[in-house]
Structure formats: C-alpha cells, structure tokens
C-alpha cells in the first residue's frame, strides 16, 4: 500500500470517528477570541514600553568632547 493511500485511509477513519462523537467540548471560537485579546494587549504594552524607552533615550544629553 502506498504512503498516500495509507494516509488517506487513516484520515478518513479519523474523520469518521470524529463525526460519531457528538460532544467534543467548547467551540474554538471563544479560545480564538481570548487569544486575539491577549495578543492585542501584548501589542499595546509593547508599544507603550517602546514609546517610553524612545522618550527616555531622547532625553539623554548628546556627547560633548571635553575641552
């Protein structure tokens, strides 16, 4: 039996098994929404930290050669 045929049979058997099992837990949509929210918060925190760091670096006086 070729590898493709073996994979096809295994996939078809797994899909049939999943269709028979009616209760599979929560929908993945709430999990995706939570992950999206966490990513948005992480991006906002990163942007705020980057802005604060850039402001801090801009406030450092420029180097002057000693006379």
pTM of the model: 0.53
67 in a domain, yes or no? no
C-alpha 54: how far from its chain's center?
26
Helix (H, G, I), strand (E, B) or coil at 64: coil
Asked whether the beta carbons of 44 and 50 are under 8 A apart, the reply is no
56 within some domain? yes
- Answer yes or no: is 7 within a domain: no
Give the model confidence (pLDDT) of 35-46 as tens digits. 999 999 999 999
Q: Is residue 33 part of a domain?
A: yes
pLDDT of res. 24: 65
How many domains does the structure of the chain reveal?
Answer: 1
pLDDT greater at residue 50 or residue 21:
50
What is the pLDDT of the chain when averaged over all its residues?
A: 87
Supply the DSSP string of 13-54, one letter for each residue.
HHHHHHHH-----S-HHHHHHHHHHHHHHHHHHHHHHHHHHH
For 56, the domain range is 24-60
Does residue 55 surpass a pLDDT of 80?
yes
């Amino acid at each position: 039996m070729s590898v493709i045929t073996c994979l096809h049979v295994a996939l078809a058997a797994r899909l049939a098994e999943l269709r028979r099992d009616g209760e599979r837990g929560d929908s993945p949509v709430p999990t995706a929404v939570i992950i999206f929210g966490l990513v948005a918060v992480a991006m906002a925190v990163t942007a705020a930290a980057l802005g604060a760091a850039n402001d801090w670096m801009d406030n450092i006086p420029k180097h002057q050669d000693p006379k």
